[in-house]
């Protein structure tokens, strides 16, 4: 996994999170991980605020059992969605996060923004689509 600009130790932890072993393929039957991708579409005038929400996030997901990693990907094309990628040991761990008070607290600022827009009769400045995946194969660079 190429992680430009990250320290080597950070790269190693990120690779472990998605189930990589240097130079070897890893299949689901070999202890694969559960991946959640939240594609967040933001209006152009809301992109900066969206990024600020993540820079100042509560950081509660890191405390959840089964949580492995979080990546927030900024699109290079402004019309494309941000991708919020979380890696979990299992779907059960992810579902427990969704049901938790920590999840509610971690999302309350964004949900308040969406609800405020709806109450004002406006289109919310962001919308999301959640996609669920299992790791079929993860390969890391050798060395």
Quick: pLDDT tens for 60-98.
999 999 999 999 999 999 899 999 999 999 999 999 999
Assigned CATH topology for domain 39-133: Alpha-Beta Plaits (3.30.70)
What is the pLDDT averaged over residues 42-60?
95
Q: How far apart are CA 42 and CA 78, in angstroms?
A: 9
Instruction: Answer yes or no: is pLDDT of 114 > 70.
Output: yes
- Element spanning 86, H or E: strand 82-88
Binning pLDDT at 50, 70 and 90, where does residue 49 land?
very high
Q: How far apart are CA 62 and CA 92, in angstroms?
A: 16
Beta carbons of 39 and 129 less than 8 angstroms apart: yes
pLDDT of 11: 43
Burial of 102 (0-12, 13-18, 19+ CB in 10 A): middle
Q: What is the mean pLDDT of the chain?
A: 84
pLDDT of 5: 43
Q: Taking Cα atoms as reference points, which of 131, 103, 130, 117 lies closest to residue 43?
A: 117
pLDDT of 64: 96
pLDDT of 48: 96
Q: How far apart are CA 52 and CA 57, in angstroms?
A: 8
What is the pLDDT averaged over residues 21-44?
73
Instruction: Answer yes or no: is pLDDT of 29 > 50.
Output: no
Q: How far apart are CA 12 and CA 143, in angstroms?
A: 11
Strand, helix or coil for residue 5: coil
What is the pLDDT averaged over residues 24-38?
68
pLDDT > 90 in the chain, percent: 70
pLDDT of 141: 84
């Amino acid at each position: 996994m190429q992680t430009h600009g990250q320290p080597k130790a950070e790269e190693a932890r990120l690779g472990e999170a998605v189930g990589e072993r240097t130079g070897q393929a890893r299949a689901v039957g070999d202890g694969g991980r559960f991946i959640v991708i939240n594609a967040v579409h933001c209006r152009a005038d809301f992109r900066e605020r969206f990024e600020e929400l993540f820079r100042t996030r509560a950081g509660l997901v890191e405390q959840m059992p089964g949580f492995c990693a979080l990546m927030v990907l900024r699109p290079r094309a402004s019309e494309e969605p941000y991708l919020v990628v979380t890696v979990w040991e299992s779907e059960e761990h992810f579902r427990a996060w969704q049901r938790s008070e920590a999840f509610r607290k971690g999302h309350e600022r964004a949900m308040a923004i969406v609800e405020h827009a709806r109450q004002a009769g406006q289109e919310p400045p962001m919308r999301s689509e959640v996609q669920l995946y299992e790791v079929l194969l993860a390969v890391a660079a050798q060395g």
